[in-house]
Amino acid sequence: MTSLLSSPHATSRERAADPRSDLATRRPLVLVATFGGLVAAAGTLLVCLGAGVTGWFLTDGGAHGEPRDGLRTGALAWLMGHGSGVLVDGVAVSAVPLGITVMCAWTLWRVGQRVGVSVSGHGPDVEEIADGQRDWTVPVAVVLLSAGYVVVAVLTSTLAATPATDPSAPRVVTWALLLCLLAGAPGIAVGSGRAAIWTSYLPASVRASGGIVRRLLLLWLAVSALAFAVALLSDLSTAANVLSQLDADAGATLLILVVSLLLLPNALAFSGSYLLGPGFTVGTGTLVAPSVVVLGPLPSFPMLAALPDEGPTAAWTAWLIVLPPLVAFLAVVLHQRRAPLFRYEEGAVRGVSGGVVAGLLFGLVASLAGGAVGPGRMQDVAPYAFDTMLHAVTSFGIGGLLGGLAMTWWQRRSMPVEIELDLQ
């Protein structure tokens, strides 16, 4: 059977006429899905293990400790990407390196797609599904994929954990299941062609709102990345000074750069929270926002050079509040340009619903970006997630509403006379 995604109208007779394709898409579901979960987890774990050993060698040339210490460090980093948290010299570190989390989610998505293609021939075809026949192919594959992934996560937590580090196995399992549900399951649904069938039953407004959400989040992350890059480059001398104070050689510098890359998604969440208005903390009693900056002693880490100077902010920072609705406006305009609308109510509903959902999702990302990163006041380093969500929902919703109305008005100007008469 050809994939339901590539040939959504394939029937049982057409599948029988192409035995080679049938074999390629009817591989053993239990084996393929379970093996997919094992591969998705083991692949990213091996990358972290390799990075851990490389980092151990670069820091002291292998003069201290043994390679298994580097392996344990890499395994703990992988577990931290799954929300485990660790103890470092008795101090809890709960912040999640979202770079590792994103890498694991992307791997699950790609593996899920391959699994979906391999098992797409199982279950009823598109015509039988349309007739109401139940199809359990995707749910069963998701359960088996999750089981394989969780097995690797539990084994890693068991082998890497020590009383001195104490990563949380229940949190690892919870995060692993969520990643499989949010990344692996959609991958299987798309690869098997079921997603195309299911979404075809959704109203056009719902599908359009989903496209607006995706475009808006990507644009906002791009704007946040640009703001972070400008802030860091404008004070690059401070970052270089921090590196010189650390007396880091080439190997240690490379290790710091790798850690910075793993924390880049966290930095984008902090940057986006700042642009939205609420800002974030970099220690208990601190505040970094467009209205005011209150800082205290900071750890020696080059990325912190992007922080603004302490004290009253420049007058122009107050205008940053217009960025979120502008980005939402642009996202709706770009999306609706390919899908013209001629009814104001439809444009308004799509724009505002897409903006609100995007705001909720960015608030969720902000809530995952912070945590404890050290002792004392460094136990509170995080965006103001709830306030960020409220500001994002409001700003994106208003911008989406205005974008939907404006683009609908523009498209109505050039609509055919027949459509105009129908609307009246």
pLDDT digits (tens, 9 = 90+) for 276-318: 999 999 989 899 999 899 988 888 888 999 999 888 888 888 8
Report which of residues 422 and 79 the model is more confident about: 79
pLDDT class of 235 with cuts at 50, 70, 90: confident
Average predicted confidence (pLDDT) for the chain = 87
pLDDT digits (tens, 9 = 90+) for 49-63: 999 988 888 776 666
pLDDT digits (tens, 9 = 90+) for 134-151: 778 899 999 999 999 999
Say whether pTM exceeds 0.85: yes
**d(C-alpha 145, C-alpha 191), whole Å:** 14
**d(C-alpha 53, C-alpha 66), whole Å:** 9
Whole-number percent of the chain with pLDDT over 90: 55
Can you say whether the dihedral through the CA atoms of 149, 155, 159, 165 is positive or negative? positive
The answer to whether 399 touches 333, Cβ cutoff 8 Å, is: no
Of the candidates 99, 68, 90, 102, the residue with the CA atom closest to the CA atom of residue 182: 102
One DSSP character per residue, 76-107 reads HHHHHTTT--EEETTEEE----HHHHHHHHHH
Domain boundaries, the chain: 12-201, 207-423
**Phi, psi (rounded to 5 degrees) for 244:** -65, -35
pLDDT digits (tens, 9 = 90+) for 347-403: 899 999 999 999 999 999 999 999 999 888 889 999 999 999 999 999 999 999 999
Q: What is the pLDDT of residue 345?
A: 87
Report which of residues 33 and 125 the model is more confident about: 33
Q: Please give the average per-residue pLDDT across 254-258, as a whole number.
A: 86
Residues whose CB is less than 8 angstroms from the CB of residue 105 and which lie 6 or more positions away in sequence, other chains included: 179, 182, 183
For the cut 70, the answer to whether the pLDDT of residue 424 exceeds it is: no
Cα 145–Cα 131–Cα 207 angle in degrees, nearest 5: 65
